[in-house]
A and B are shown apart, each in its own frame.
Chain A
């Protein structure tokens, strides 16, 4: 992440001669040295890229049409929703509208593939090796039983750069976005970030 950020934001490498020629183009005496100008330019460039990166916020790239499940939604229903919408995770909402957790494919694998199973390929490996395949969990029947909790959430004004750092740090693939009143207004998946241009379009 840091690497791409640097690559995308390298300022034009001005030579002293470039600055000298530019100063000659401007009539009148300029009370500044070449090296002062260059330092101001480089620092201003850094401020500008910071500003642009921070100006792209959660509300600009989030998916607003969010499907969510409730705490006592049966797991079969959760799986059906995820399959139909072709999504790999859904937020879990409490009765009063608060986001209490997130259920992802990984949570299903953990519950149905046996202890420590977090990827589909581990399940495939066990099945093909003649071992036990997926089992229907007896003790987990509702969304609240397998969801990851507490939910990692952000607010609409979070800069996208910070959200991608948060996802990388927590090892998660989506974060619900909360509006000013604390209710969910959208969700951001890793795909939303990849699909967004880091420099926002001019309105």
Chain B
């Protein structure tokens, strides 16, 4: 019976943030993704490189929507994405013909690696998955995927997060670096 009673939850949801905070989160994410998107579509369009991948949308939620969260700190943002990308590419290379297994292995292993390295960053779960199921264009990058777009994009988000969040009186970022 304890098993089912545990599903009831024990506490209530944290309070909503104020209108100002909503706007700051919106503006921060706008600037962060705008910069990555511009580079992706305007600068890198000619060469065979990409920069804008979906996990950065999730990272923007943390860096601009919950900048105080341990999950949003630089160590987690950069480390989580980098480790997860390497794990994802490795899983694809080992099981290139069995994507359903490679996908599960990549996500599970990434979580384990992020735990051990204290770099847990939820968006990186998508980063590792894309390395496996991202299609021809991603597969062609090989381990390069971990550097561009993943680490490079994460560094851009970090830069915008630092410049933007610290410009506001109610925010400071990061809580810790490493």
Contacts and interface: CB of A to CB of B under 8 A. Distances in A.
Contacts of A27: 17-18, 20-21, 170-171
Nearest to A27: B170
Scoring B15, B18, B70 by chain A CB atoms within 10 A of each residue's CB, the highest score goes to B15
Output the residue of B12, B18, B67, B72 with the most chain A CB within 10 A: B12
Interface string A175-196: 0000000000000000000000
Nearest to A22: B15
Interface string B118-132: 000000000000000
A27 B15 CA distance: 10
Contact of A29 (B12, B20, B21, B70): B21
Interface residues of B, number: 20
Contact of A33 (B11, B18, B72): B11
Main secondary structure of the interface of B (DSSP, over half): loop
Contacts of B71: 31
Given A27-B21, A28-B21, A33 B67 contact: no
B12 A16 contact: yes
A69 to B, nearest CB: 59
Contacts of A30: 14, 66, 68
Nearest to B62: A31
Contacts of A16: 11-12
A43 interface: no
A29 B17 contact: yes
Q: Which 3 A-B pairs have the closest CB atoms?
A: A31-B69, A35-B11, A27-B170
Interface of B: 10-12, 14-15, 17-18, 20-21, 25, 65-72, 170-171
